[in-house]
Amino acid sequence: MKRRWILRLSTVGLVTGLLFGTVAFVQAEPKAQSGDVARGKTLFVRHCTGCHGPEGGGDGYKFHSGPDPAKLTSPSIRKKSDDDLFQTIHEGKPNMPPWNTRLSQEESRDILAYVRTLAK
């Protein structure tokens, strides 16, 4: 009798933990995509098209040495998490300057929201 009660209590605890974990995950994702797409497009045109091209195809300015700019329309970009893309926009990469000195975090999120529309 006591074992059955402990088993039921453990099962309820496990199910409750899974449900709350799922709810927390679902609620956390929209925050990353909370940027303004229209503002992001304006910022993208101003700051990003020189390298990534007007449609994000990586067909902007080509560097004489080093890798080409990322094709923001590619499936590999679609697979990246919002956190990874935001960090790249804000902190830069070896062949991309960090934009955290010129753009606020909100502006970087706006650009991310616009980039997500390109990868569809």
> Does residue 4 carry a pLDDT above 90?
no
pTM of the model: 0.69
Q: Are 42 and 116 in contact (CB under 8 A)?
A: no
Residues 47-83 have pLDDT tens digits of 999 999 999 998 887 666 778 889 999 999 999 999 9
Confidence of residue 36 (pLDDT cuts 50, 70, 90): very high
Q: Are 35 and 111 in contact (CB under 8 A)?
A: yes
What local confidence, expressed as pLDDT, does residue 114 receive?
Answer: 96
Answer whether 43's CB lies under 8 Å from 57's CB. no
The domain locations on the chain are 1-32, 33-118
Give the total residue count for the chain: 120
Q: Would you put residue 104 in left (φ > 0), alpha (ψ -120 to 50) or beta? A: beta
Domain 33-118 homologous superfamily, CATH: Cytochrome c-like domain (1.10.760.10)
The torsion angles phi and psi of 97, rounded to 5 degrees, stand at -70, 155
pLDDT at 37 over 80: yes
CA distance 50 to 26: 36
